[in-house]
Structure 1
Amino acid sequence: MSKKSDIATQKEPASGPPATPNERASESRQLQENRALRAFAHRLTEKVAAKGWTQAEFARRLSLQMGREIDRRSVNGYFLGKHRPSHNMMAGIAKVLNQDIDQLYPGYLEVPGEVQSMLGVEPRLEFVDKGGGKATLNIRQEVSLSAALKVIHIITEELEKDERADDGSAKTSAGRRRPHN
C-alpha cells in the first residue's frame, strides 16, 4: 500500500476572486429588497383576507380601480412576493385596500438608486406620505440644470397622469343621474 492512497484527498472549494465592496453592497440591497417584497406579499395577503376577498375578487377590484384589466398572474405574483408593483400599480393597490403605501410596503417610496445616480449625489430629501396615494417631496440639493430638468419632467408627467385620471372620474360621476326616491 502506498502512503499516497492512505491520505484522504480533499478538494478545496472552487472560489473566484473575493467579492468587491460594491458587489457585497449590491448583494445586500438585493437581499433587503427580497425581504421587503416577501413582507409586502404577507401584508397584502392579510389585508385581502381581512376583507374576505379572494385573489380573483381583489384582481377584479384592482382592475376597476386601474381602469384596465389586471392579469391574474400579475396579482398572483404580488401575493407570492415574486413581482414588485410599479408606482401606479402600488398606488392602485393601496387605494383598493384603503391603506397608505408605506403601511403595505415600508420603504417602497424611498428615492430609487437610479434617481440618486442621475443626480450624481445622494440628495438631501424630505418625503412626507400624505395618505391617499399623495406625498410631499422636498429635494434640497444643488444639482446640474440637466438633472433638475429630468426630475421636473418626471414629476410633471406624474401630475398630468393624475389630472387626466381625476378629469375622467369627474366626467363619469357628472354624467350619472341620481335615482328618484
Structure 2
Amino acid sequence: MHRKKIGTAFIIVMLFLLFIPNSEVKSAEEDTVTITVTIKNFAVGLYEADQTTPYTTWAIGAVDKGTETVMSDADCIYVKNESNVACDFQLKLVEPANLTVSDTSPGTDVFVLMGTFWSSNSASPSADNFTEANDHINTSYITATTTIFAGDADGANVPANSGVFLYLDFLAPTDLSDSHPQQTITLYVKAVNPS
C-alpha cells in the first residue's frame, strides 16, 4: 500500500512538472513569416492646370527673333506622379527639324527651353525665375533635384499620386538662316526611382 501511494505521488508530481508554464519557447515542427513587397511601377501623367484634362500642346504662336516667352498660369502643365511609390521627374526634348537647342543662350537657328516646378498653377513665374545653369532642357534626360528645375517646388522625390506644376520658358533664336515654317518641339517627362 505504501508503494502504491509513492507511485501515485510520483505520477502526480511528474504530471505537475509537465504542465508548469515554461518561459522557453518550444520548437514547433513548422512556423510562418509574412513577407510584404511593393513592386515599383513608375508612371507619369501630364494634365492641364485643372489637373484632369490631358495636356497636349503649348501653342506659343508667332514670336519675334530673340524674344522670351514664359508659360502662363493657364498654360502650365500639371505633372502627376501616377506611380505606386515616390519618384523623381526627368525632362528632355526632341529638337525640331530646323532648330537646335542650347544649354546656355539662343543664337542663329538655336533656341533655349527651360523649365521649373511650382506648387500651384497660380505661380506666375517671370523670366527671372529661370536660369540656364539649373533649368535648361536638352536632348538627354536631366533629373529634377532640389535645385535643378526648382521653382518654389521641385520634381524630386514626389510622393505617389501627387504632382507639381511645370512652367516652361522659351528663348527664341536670335536669327534664322532660312525662313522656317512652324516648328514643333517635343517635350518628354519621365518618372524614375528617386536619387
Normalising by the residue count of structure 2, what TM-score does the alignment of the two structures yield? 0.20
The structure richer in helix per residue is 1
Give 1 or 2 for the bigger CA radius of gyration: 2
Normalising by the residue count of structure 1, what TM-score does the alignment of the two structures yield? 0.21
